[in-house]
Structure 1
Amino acid sequence: MTRSMGIICDRCGALAVDCDDQGYYLCEACLAFEENFGAEEGDRDADEEFPDEKNTDGSSRQST
């Protein structure tokens, strides 16, 4: 794959440079992180880490 293809990283949205063994496109930083530390499949959904969690007052948790 080349940079000119314009495919974005499935993890962070940067320009992807390669595809991992599970078929996810990753940028250089995310690819290096995954090679060094590994990644659980659930880690790819960081924005949805707590989708159903409620605050003590009953309101939904706000994303940061």
Structure 2
Amino acid sequence: MNYASQIVHCPNCGGHASRHYLDKEALVRTQCPHCDYLMITCSNTGNVVEAYAPGLVAAHR
């Protein structure tokens, strides 16, 4: 499996998160060990495949 990774700021808590580019599956996985944030997107389309962000509440109108 070919992949590259980098350290990024977590969009949920601001801590250090890791971003992995998974070439074979055409996925980008961003995860944070501090707050359990997870975002998996398709690198071809940008569509969200899976997401989990504890502490964020969706607004209801």
- Using the size of structure 1 for normalisation, the TM-score is 0.31
More strand by share: 2
Quick one: higher RCO (CA 8 Å, sep 6+), 1 or 2? Answer: 2
- Using the size of structure 2 for normalisation, the TM-score is 0.31
More helix by share: 1
Structure (1 or 2) with the larger CA radius of gyration: 1
